C-alpha cells in the first residue's frame, strides 16, 4: 500500500478538482488503539460513501464502468464490516486493503476523465486538419487551372500535379472516414491518433507518387486501362488518378500494390539446393 499522493491523479467534480486523500494513513493504523481503529473504520466508510457519490457524477457517461467500480466499493465496505468482528490485526490489514482499493478507484476515474477530455479534443483537431488540407487542395487546383499546369510534371520529381492532388484528396478522405468510424479505446491511443492525423496526408502523397512511378514505368499493367499503340502503351490519366487516390486513402491498397509488384520481380534470394544423397 502506498501512502504517496499523486498530484496528477485528480478528479474533476463540477468546478473543483479532487486529489486522493485518506482520513487516516496506513502507517498510523498499526499503532492505533482499538477505539481509534473504530473511528478509522467510520472515516473510511465515509470515504467510500463519498466515492460512491463521485462515481454517480463523474462516470455518468459510462454506466458499465460506473457499475463495476461501484461494486468494488461495495465489496470494500462489506470487507470492513466483516473484519470488525475479528481481531485488530485482521482489521488493520483489511483497512489497508480498503484504502488501496479506494485509491485504485480514484485513479480509474481520473484516467477515464483524462481519456474523455483528450479524445474530445480530436473532435476539433480532425476537422481543423481536414479544413487546412482542403484549402491547400483548392488553392493548388486554382493555381494549376490558371497556369495550365494540370498535366505538367513537377520539376525534379517528375510527378504530374494532378497525381499529387488526387493523392492528397485520398489522404483527406481517409482522415474523414477514420473520424466517423474509428473509436478510441485507450488513453495511449489519443497521442498516436494525433500523430497519425498530422502525418497521414504526407504519407498518402508519397504512396500516391510511388504508385504513379510504378504504373508509368510499366512494372504493373492494368489491362484495358492502357491503350496500346505501335510504340508504347498509353496509360489513361483516369487510371493514374484513381490509383493515386486509393494509394492516398488506403494503406492496405498500397501494400497490396507493392506485393503485386514484388510478385512480378525475379527472386534475387539465393535458392537452397537439395541434397539427393541425404
Ranges of each domain in the chain: 10-115, 149-264
* pLDDT value, residue 4: 40
CA distances from 230 to 102, 128, 163, 268 (A): 80, 50, 26, 33
Ramachandran angles phi, psi of 240, nearest 5°: -60, -40
* pLDDT value, residue 156: 64
- Residues 241, 157: Cα–Cα separation, whole Å: 17
Grid coordinates in use for 178? 477514420
- Residues 240, 77: Cα–Cα separation, whole Å: 67
* pLDDT value, residue 150: 57
Whether the Cβ atoms of residue 161 and residue 152 lie closer than 8 Å to each other: yes
Question: Which ranges in 84-187 belong to alpha helices (H)?
Answer: 88-147, 161-181
| Residue showing cell 463540477 | 14
Find, among 142, 201, 124, 206, the residue nearest to 169 by Cα.
201
Whether the Cβ atoms of residue 109 and residue 69 lie closer than 8 Å to each other: yes
Find, among 205, 212, 258, 218, the residue nearest to 239 by Cα.
212
Ramachandran angles phi, psi of 12, nearest 5°: -85, 120
CA dihedral 201, 206, 209, 211 (to 10 degrees): -100
- Residues 221, 242: Cα–Cα separation, whole Å: 14
Question: At a CB cut-off of 8 Å and minimum separation 6, what does 196 contact?
Answer: none
Grid coordinates in use for 93? 490489514
SS3 state at 61? coil
Give the sign of the dihedral formed by CA 208, CA 211, CA 217, CA 220.
negative
Grid coordinates in use for 41? 473504520
Low-confidence residues of the chain, pLDDT below 70? Answer: 1-8, 14-16, 146-156, 184-189, 219-234, 264-278
CA distances from 236 to 104, 115, 152, 226 (A): 62, 48, 15, 6
* pTM given for the model: 0.58
* Cross-strand partners of 234: 227
* pLDDT value, residue 71: 92
Strands 234-235 and 10-13: unpaired
| Residue showing cell 537439395 | 274
* pLDDT value, residue 9: 74
213 phi-psi bin (left φ>0, alpha ψ -120 to 50, beta other): alpha
* pLDDT value, residue 277: 46
* pLDDT value, residue 137: 85
Amino acid at each position: 500500500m502506498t501512502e504517496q499522493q499523486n498530484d496528477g491523479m485528480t478528479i474533476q467534480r463540477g468546478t473543483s478538482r479532487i486529489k486522493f486523500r485518506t482520513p487516516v494513513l496506513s502507517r498510523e493504523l498499526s499503532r492505533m488503539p482499538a477505539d481509534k481503529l473504530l473511528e478509522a473504520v467510520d472515516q473510511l466508510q465515509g470515504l467510500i460513501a463519498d466515492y460512491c457519490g463521485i462515481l454517480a457524477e463523474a462516470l455518468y457517461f459510462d454506466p458499465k464502468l460506473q457499475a463495476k467500480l461501484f461494486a468494488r466499493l461495495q465489496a470494500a465496505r462489506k470487507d470492513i464490516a466483516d473484519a470488525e468482528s475479528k481481531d485488530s490485526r485482521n482489521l488493520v490489514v483489511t483497512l489497508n486493503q480498503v484504502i488501496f482499493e479506494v485509491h485504485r478507484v480514484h485513479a480509474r476515474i481520473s484516467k477515464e476523465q483524462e481519456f474523455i477530455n483528450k479524445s474530445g479534443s480530436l473532435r476539433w483537431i480532425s476537422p481543423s486538419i481536414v479544413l487546412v488540407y482542403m484549402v491547400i487542395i483548392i488553392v493548388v487546383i486554382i493555381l494549376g487551372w490558371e497556369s495550365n499546369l494540370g498535366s505538367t510534371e513537377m520539376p525534379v520529381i517528375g510527378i504530374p500535379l494532378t497525381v499529387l492532388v488526387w493523392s492528397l484528396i485520398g489522404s483527406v478522405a481517409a482522415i474523414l472516414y477514420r473520424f466517423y468510424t474509428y473509436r478510441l479505446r485507450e488513453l495511449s491511443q489519443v497521442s498516436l491518433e494525433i500523430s497519425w492525423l498530422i502525418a497521414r496526408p504526407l504519407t498518402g502523397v508519397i504512396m500516391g507518387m510511388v504508385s504513379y512511378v510504378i504504373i508509368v514505368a510499366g512494372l504493373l499493367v492494368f489491362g484495358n486501362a492502357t491503350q496500346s499503340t505501335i510504340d508504347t502503351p498509353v496509360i489513361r490519366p483516369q487510371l493514374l488518378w484513381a490509383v493515386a487516390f486509393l494509394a492516398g486513402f488506403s494503406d492496405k491498397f498500397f501494400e497490396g500494390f507493392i506485393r503485386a509488384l514484388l510478385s512480378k520481380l525475379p527472386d534475387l534470394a539465393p535458392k537452397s539446393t537439395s541434397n539427393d544423397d541425404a
